[in-house]
Amino acid sequence: MYVITGGAGFIGSNIAAALDERRPGSVVVCDRLRDGVKWKNLAKRELIDIVPPEDLFAYLDRQPGDVEAVIHMGAISSTVEVDADKIIDNNFRLSLRLWQWCALHKVRLIYASSAATYGDGAQGFDDDARSSTLAALRPLNPYGWSKHLFDRRVARLLAMGEMSPPQWAGLKFFNVYGPNEYHKAGQRSVAAQVYERVAAGESARLFKSHRPDYKDGGQVRDFIWVGDCVDIVLWLLDTTSVSGLFNCGTGQARSFADLAAAVFAALGKKPKIDYAPMPESLREKYQYFTQARMERLRAAGYGKPPMSLEDGIGSYVRDYLAVADPHR
Q: Cβ neighbours of residue 238 under 8 Å, at least 6 residues apart?
A: none
Provide the residue ranges of all domains of the chain, joining segments of one domain with +.
Answer: 2-175+223-250+291-306, 176-222+251-290+307-328
Q: Interhelix angle for 142-159 vs 94-105, to 10°?
A: 30
Could you give the CA distance from residue 111 to residue 99 in angstroms, rounded to a whole number?
9
Using 50, 70 and 90 to split pLDDT, how confident is the model at 285?
A: confident
Please give the model's pTM, rounded to 2 decimal places: 0.96
pLDDT reported for residue 280: 85
| Of the candidates 72, 71, 67, 33, the residue with the CA atom closest to the CA atom of residue 50 | 33
Containing 36, the helix (H) or strand (E) segment is: none
- What is the C-alpha end-to-end distance of the chain, expressed in Å? 21
Q: Which CATH class is domain 176-222+251-290+307-328?
A: alpha beta
pLDDT reported for residue 80: 76
Could you give the CA distance from residue 80 to residue 146 in angstroms, rounded to a whole number?
13
If you average pLDDT over residues 14-32, what whole number do you get? 97
Which residues are catalytically annotated?
A: 143, 184
If you average pLDDT over residues 176-199, what whole number do you get? 95
CA distances from 246 to 59, 267, 294 (A): 29, 34, 8
3-state secondary structure (DSSP) of residue 231: helix
pLDDT reported for residue 82: 82
Using 50, 70 and 90 to split pLDDT, how confident is the model at 281?
A: confident
Q: Cβ neighbours of residue 157 under 8 Å, at least 6 residues apart?
A: 99, 164
- In this structure, CATH architecture of domain 2-175+223-250+291-306: 3-Layer(aba) Sandwich (3.40)
Beta pairing, strands 108-114 & 168-173? parallel
| Of the candidates 176, 187, 191, the residue with the CA atom closest to the CA atom of residue 320 | 191
